Amino acid sequence: MKIAVVSSNGVDVDLHLGKGYSLYVYEYEDDDLTFIEHREVDIDLESQHQGSKVIKACEDCDVIIAVQFGFKSKIKADELNIKLVSDEGSVDEVLKSYIDHYNFMKN
C-alpha cells in the first residue's frame, strides 16, 4: 500500500490537502514501511480549492494523509479509490497511527 503524507518539511503533517505543494510517499508492505520519494506539486499558494492537483499527483497511492481536505477533494479521491485521512503531527506518529489502525481493522 502506498501512503502519501502532505508535509512542508518531511517531518510534520502540516498542510491542508489543497495547499499540498509537498508530498512524501511511503510504501507499507509486510509490516515494513519504506520511504519512496518526495514529490512537489505546482500549487498557487494564493488560490483555494487545489486538492484535485494533489490527488492527481497521488493517483498511484492508496492513501493520502493531510491536516484537512474539502468535500470536492473527497469526491475526487473516492472516484479514484484513494482514501483521504485527516491527521496532523509528526510524519512518524501519523504513519504509525494510520498503520496501527489499518492493521487493527484488517484483523
**Predicted pLDDT of residue 77:** 97
Q: Give the pLDDT confidence score for residue 107 in this predicted structure.
A: 81
Asked whether 7 and 94 are in contact (CB, 8 A), the reply is no
pLDDT tens digit string along 11-31?
Answer: 999 999 999 999 999 999 999
The pTM for the full model equals 0.95
Phi, psi (rounded to 5 degrees) for 62 = -95, -30
Mean pLDDT of the chain: 95
Domain ranges of the chain: 2-106
| Segment 49-77 mean pLDDT | 95
Look at residue 88 in the predicted model and tell me its pLDDT: 96
What Cα–Cα distance (Å) separates residue 68 from each residue in 6, 18, 107? 10, 8, 28
In CATH terms, 2-106 corresponds, of 3.40.50.720, 3.40.250.10, 3.40.605.10, 3.30.420.130, to 3.30.420.130
